[in-house]
Amino acid sequence: MKIIILAAGMGTRLNLNAPKCLTELFTKETILDRQLESLSHHVDKKDIIVVVGYKSDLIKAKYHDYCFVENLNYKNTNTAKSLLLALNNIDSNNNIVWLNGDVVFDKEIIKFLIKSTKSSMLVNSGVVGEEEVKYKINKDGTIKSVSKIINDGLGEAVGLNRINRNDLKKFKLCLEKCANDDYFEKAIELLINQGSKVYPIDISDYFCCEIDTKEDLNSVNTYLKENLND
């Protein structure tokens, strides 16, 4: 298994003049510190790839013993192309778990993707904001659609996902079809439209928050302060 962390973006809404993954939390760890610590219980660091772009030297200097893939076109591309760059550096015989580099989550939820035997995505249920990635499901319980433009979504796709090796070649072709500004969820939809099944894993009972704004960061820090032992 290989793990990919997508950390190439500029994070302009947070306006911290540094990659979002290096944002310091209430616990004095960075977002990336917290993610890597969670992953360390399941995989060796040699199996973790971090896709970097904006101010990549800062990330490489702090985490110099990890593997990196550089998105030199990070200003003009989105997560679909960052993910494709990483996958092009990985043998297609691997199961893949990937996550956005700006997500803070209860550390145990990563195990649901590690232990899954299916292509899967972590989701929650409930009211979702307009800017969040939403999802719908088919009658058989698999993902039907996933994007920001869905109306009446069941909840949020939280940015942690798994593609099994048997779907990987097709998924890479779907990523290649994506436009530069597409999120990787577009490729998941293309994969589903080709007949592959992606299963939701509901983690509504756990904390998981993508940090896009200072309000998000404040919410995360409030949660961490109240749950210091987690």
Spell out the CATH class of 2-226: alpha beta
Query: Whole-angstrom Cα distance, residue 112 to residue 223?
Result: 22
Does 16 score more than 90 pLDDT? no
Mean pLDDT, the chain, integer? 94
Which residue blocks in 25-129 are alpha helix, DSSP H?
31-39, 56-62, 79-87, 110-115
Does 182 score more than 70 pLDDT? yes
- Name the residue type at position 186: K
Mean pLDDT of 3-30: 92
In this prediction, residue 197 carries a pLDDT of 97
Residue 130 has which token pair?
């307009």
Q: Which residues on adjacent β-strands are paired with residue 122?
A: 201
Q: 210, 158 in Cβ contact below 8 A?
A: yes
Where is 72: in which H helix or E strand? none
Query: Whole-angstrom Cα distance, residue 91 to residue 165?
Result: 9
Where is 168: in which H helix or E strand? helix 165-177
pLDDT tens, 55-93?
999 999 999 999 999 999 999 999 999 999 999 999 989
Does 230 score more than 80 pLDDT? no
Q: 90, 44 in Cβ contact below 8 A?
A: no
Q: If you search the block for the tokens 């591309």, which residue do you land on? A: 77
Does 157 score more than 70 pLDDT? yes
Q: How far, CA to CA in Å, does 201 sit from each of 15, 19, 115?
A: 32, 29, 11
Q: Where are the domains of the chain?
A: 2-226
pLDDT tens, 169-181?
999 999 999 999 9
Q: 109, 99 in Cβ contact below 8 A?
A: no
